Structure 1
Amino acid sequence: MPPIAILVALADPTRCRIIEILQTGPQPVHQIADAFDISRPAISRHLGVLKQARLISEKKSGRENRYELHTKRLKPVRDWLVGLASVPLPKAKPPAKSAALTPKKQPEPKPAPIPVLEQPVVAATRQKPAASQMGFDF
């Protein structure tokens, strides 16, 4: 079964880049934010998603919050992908040589007749017309 929560957290390029930044070791939020052209609150939201997926953790160090990557949490993703890669793909059947060289000409289909719908009768008192067959008033 695919590790959905982790894959959802990694589905955003910004969060993937944060993971790459944290591979070098724990980083304070300002260093992470400096790598992007988006606001620090936006970076904090991305960090929150990664924390919720338990890919990173936050540790207060003095006045700074340092974020650390937990690479062991990526193992289910790796295992799932390796499992997918080990399944042999079905072999495609080669096309028949004669059919590929001489395509058959198909007759052009005749256009379907356009149905004529009767307009609803509207009384002289300006009543709303009856609903069409589709259930909508036009």
Structure 2
Amino acid sequence: MRKALDTLALRMDGTPASPNTVARKRAVFSGALKYAVELRLLDTHPMSLLSWTAPKMADEVDRGAVVNPDQARALLAEVGRSVPELEAFFGCMYYAALRPEEVLHLHEDEYERPAQRGGWGVLHLTGSTVAVGRDWGDGDDTAEDRGLKHRARQ
């Protein structure tokens, strides 16, 4: 069991997986083992018999891979010149750290304008709009409204 858990902490190339990936893989593996106990293929859940923690990863950000404020302003200015309707889209992603599907879901009434010009406003997120394949959605539309990721719908 310990060997299986250690393997879950690795990527296919043998390098360490991210903590979120390890947690997700461990949860799926635990669910499969729980199901095996339910089907009486195992007497007990094997993970309950050992104490295992995922290896720690350095949470260091590679500054060369992240856009700095000057670069962001230059990128947004160029987007504004080339495709003006996307400037606010990418601005929301950079300045408010929104996911693309959260920006797609924004409505005018969810933006609380700043009290003074040049100040910061407030975005009241109510959901996300996800692009899905035609075969995977509930209807003919390829866009589906959902709740915010990792949050209850309300």
More helix, by proportion:
2
Q: Which has the larger radius of gyration?
A: 1
Return the structure number with greater relative CO, CA threshold 8 A, min gap 6. 1
Same fold (TM over 0.5): no
TM-score range, shorter chain: under 0.3
